[in-house]
Amino acid sequence: MYNTIKEKLAMCQAVIGGTIDTPDPEIYCAMASSGFDYLWIEMQHSTLTYQEVARMIWAGKDCPALPFIRVPDATEGDIQKAVDCGALGVAVPMVVDPEKARNAVKFASYPPRGVRSLGGGQWIGLYGEDYRRTANENIMVVAMIESPTGVENAEEIASIEGVDVVFTAATDLYSFSVVGQGDPEYEALVD
């Protein structure tokens, strides 16, 4: 196991992450060495390319924070590129139904659990020759719940094998429900 986030969560320990949306490898390395457990590379709401992200992850390969990527969507192309770059966590936005979460797991996982192709990527240089055998146990899928419909389906989404975290996206949950933090209706959605 080289995904220390999975280990910490299994032991009910807190994990702290940061978000980065600049392509500068030096800034990435500074953040990845500043005490975070993981860095969330923002690709949904940024202009970052997979080439830039691959450079950032490679530059930070010896830093303690693990690389996570919030992909633009749960497509095979986006998720395949993210894990080929070396992401150990894939955050999938706008998960409103179990099918989207199942697709994320399927595209992030090698057979028999998924359909990820072996292809290229820098993962061998990052995690070693045994990566193919260990990837399914180390890569995390984070389902982001951002709407009342997602909340209605959260229990089923969380029960999908391979979904490691269900994450409440507070700002979008407000946007889609039109009730804010502190409002009893909003807090019930989060609960």
How would you list the strands of the sheet with 140-145, edge to edge?
A: 17-20, 38-42, 66-70, 89-92, 140-145, 163-168
Choose, from 45, 49, 156, 175, the residue flagged as catalytic: 45
* Beta-bridge partners for 145: 168
Residue position matching structure tokens 């980065």? 20
Helices and strands (DSSP H and E) totals, the chain: 11, 6
Residue position matching structure tokens 């889609």? 176
61 belongs to the catalytic site: no
> Three-state SS for 166?
strand
Q: Which two tokens stand for residue 177?
A: 């429900």
- Provide the annotated active-site residues: 45
